[in-house]
Structure 1
């Protein structure tokens, strides 16, 4: 029996990508973020979601790109607690295009040299027929990307003021 993946087509900048849909709980309009002092560029701030404050993350800088213009099209993907991190996450993208069912056989390996700088975050490429033409999309490992981004931690010393703290123990295990 053929296995299918549920992949979400997102837009970051001008480019379209596929990510695993099983880590995403909801797609919502962007939430207002409270800034985080000394945070890296991919941390947009903290947002209120279901009565708790969670990190708002923009993965575009990790992929070496700027945001697309037009905030009216932006979306936030809510990733529930336990899927990638102990807390829920709000991941900001420029657009969510569609959810696709893709045969696992349609995911092809990619020449890593063509993904310079993001090779650790690419699972493969997917070729699709759409409107009589063939499109090729990179299939990103969003889970790995987010885990690596979150090696820092958000500390909350006083209400509505957040400071980014680096977790020096993450990834520094003895060999």
Structure 2
């Protein structure tokens, strides 16, 4: 298996740590960087045509047919109260499986897979506006702050 220099550095940095290490997929929504547990991510796909669904919540853009399975698509910019943005070649759909609910999350771009030692994850900030109600914590990696999302709350709130 070939490792990039960054992957080798991350492996080296986390190998000395004896506690729990979380592996996450990081992505951008607006100017913020977010991350979700890699075990919840099924795949990452390029944008495809999304079929609108009548009377869906404002942040549900519609549905897509992914290999014979119809999955709802959530526009994360709208879900977090941000303005819509033009889709680019970097825009992706992160397909996640949360408690057996498969859905797609439209994000501005996907960054990388990271390993974060648990001692570098802080409790979520207080607040109930926008994305803050879905925070699991904040991870510090290479001088960056990653907002770790709690997809169970995101899906639970989206479903209810």
Structure showing greater radius of gyration is 1
- Cα drift, residue 9 of structure 1: 0.9
The alpha-carbon distance between structure 1 residues 16 and 146, as it changes in their structure 2 partners (threshold 3 A), is same
Which residue in the other structure is 2:70 paired with? 53
Partner in structure 2 of residue 139 of structure 1: 148
- Out of 27-36 and 61-70, give the one that drifted further: 61-70
Instruction: Quote the Cα distance in structure 1 between the aligned partners of 2:106 and 2:20.
Output: 29
**CA pair 84-59 structure 1, distance change in 2 beyond 3 A:** farther
1:24, 1:77 within 8 Å by CA — same for their partners in 2? yes
Indicate if the aligned counterparts of 1:77 and 1:92 stay in contact, CA closer than 8 A: yes
Kindly state the Cα deviation for residue 59 of structure 1 after the two structures are TM-superposed: 2.3
Count of equivalent residues? 143
Cα deviation, 1:36-55, whole Å, max 9, x if unaligned, reads: 11212211111001212221
Q: Which residue of 2 aligns with 1:84?
A: 99
Q: How far has the Cα of 1:24 moved from its partner?
A: 0.6
1:97 aligns with 2:111: yes
1:149 and 2:144 correspond: no
Q: Could you report, residue by residue, the CA deviation over 1:3-42 in whole angstroms, capped at 9, with x for unpaired residues?
A: 1111111111222112222111111111211111121221
Task: Report the CA distance shift for 1:66/1:30 in structure 2 as closer, same or farther (over 3 A).
Answer: same
Structure 1: which 5+ runs fail to align?
Answer: 152-175
Aligned partner of 1:75 in structure 2 is: 92
Shift of 1:102: 0.6
Retained in 2: the 8 A contact 1:12–1:60?
Answer: yes
CA displacement 1:68-105 (0-9 Å, x = unmatched): 4342111111224xx3344x212211111001011111
1:4-23 equivalent positions in 2, closer than 5 A: 4-23=21-40
Long gaps (5+) in structure 2: 1-17
Shift of 1:116: 4.2
RMSD over equivalenced CA pairs, Å: 1.9
TM-score norm. by structure 1 comes to 0.73
Task: Report the Cα distance in structure 1 between the residues aligned to 2:129 and 2:69, rounded to whole angstroms.
Answer: 37
